[in-house]
């Protein structure tokens, strides 16, 4: 009887270990990853184009949103498409490309891409500081 109990316990333990390994694998596949920007800051001049790409992947495919924290650091706003702002597809991910034309001093701030795939709210983000200088008029 003890021999049968040990055999059954071993089978149960093997099942639990296999279940946990499969669960860990599924969690890893469901993760959302954002690759770091190539630089931590960028300096532009008024009138320049800002083009940022959020290199992200995950399963299911993540949703991307862009945010900006102002120079003072007290307000974070979500960036949406508009007159000067275009959000586009990059590497098959919607909104992963951000373009802002005719940059102004007011556009100075820290820009972040946030990717989330909805599986257990898995998310990741990356930020870049964008400085905008006024044009020098001669």
Q: What are the extents of the domains in the chain?
A: 1-30, 32-133
Instruction: Please name the residue that has the structure tokens 């990717």.
Output: 115
| Mean pLDDT of the 119-137 span | 72
Strand partners, 50: 100
Percent of the chain with pLDDT over 90: 22
Instruction: Give dist(CA 19, CA 17) in Å, integer.
Output: 5
Q: Is the peptide bond before 109 cis (omega within 30 degrees of 0)?
A: no
pLDDT of residue 19: 56
pLDDT of residue 99: 95
Instruction: Give dist(CA 54, CA 113) in Å, integer.
Output: 6
pLDDT digits (tens, 9 = 90+) for 53-88: 888 888 788 888 999 988 787 888 999 999 999 999
Torsions phi, psi for 59 (to 5 deg): -135, 125
Strand partners, 41: 129
- Measured at the alpha carbon of residue 24, what is the angle toward residues 23 and 25, in degrees to the nearest 5? 90
Which helix (H) or strand (E) is 107 found in, with range? none
pTM above 0.85, yes or no: no
What is the CATH number that goes with domain 32-133? 2.60.40.10
């Amino acid at each position: 009887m003890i021999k049968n109990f040990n055999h059954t316990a071993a089978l149960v333990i093997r099942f639990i270990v296999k279940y946990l390994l499969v669960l860990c694998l599924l969690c890893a596949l469901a993760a959302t990853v954002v690759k770091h920007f190539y630089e931590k800051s960028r300096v532009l001049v008024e009138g320049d184009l800002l083009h940022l790409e959020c290199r992200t992947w995950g399963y299911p495919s993540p949703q991307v949103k862009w945010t900006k924290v102002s120079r003072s650091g007290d307000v974070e706003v979500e960036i949406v498409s508009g007159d000067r702002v275009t959000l586009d597809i990059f590497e098959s991910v919607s909104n992963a490309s951000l373009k802002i034309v005719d940059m102004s001093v007011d556009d100075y701030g820290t820009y972040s891409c946030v990717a989330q795939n909805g599986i257990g709210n898995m998310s990741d983000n990356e930020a870049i500081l964008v400085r905008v200088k006024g044009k020098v008029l001669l």
